[in-house]
Structure 1
Amino acid sequence: MKALKPGVSCVNMHLLANRVHLEELKKLGLLKEDVEEMMKVRLGAVFMPHGLGHFMGIDTHDVDGYPETTVSVLDVERSDKPGLKSLRSARELLDAALRYPQQSQFTCREVIDQYRGFGGVRIEDDVAVTDDGMELLTCVPRTVEEIEAWMAEGRQRPQVPLPQECVKSG
Structure 2
Amino acid sequence: MAKTQRERDDDATAKRKELGEIELRHRVIKGTDAALAEIMLWHGFSQKAEAIQILIINTHALGAEFSAAVAASASPCTRKPAEWLRHRLRPGTRAMLDEIAQWRGTDNLAAVVEQLIHETHMLGQQHSAHRVRVPRHEIHVSENVAQWVHAKGISQCRLQDLQEARDEWRD
TM-score (norm 1): 0.21
Whose relative contact order is higher, 1 or 2, with alpha carbons under 8 Å and at least 6 apart? 2
Bigger helix share: 2
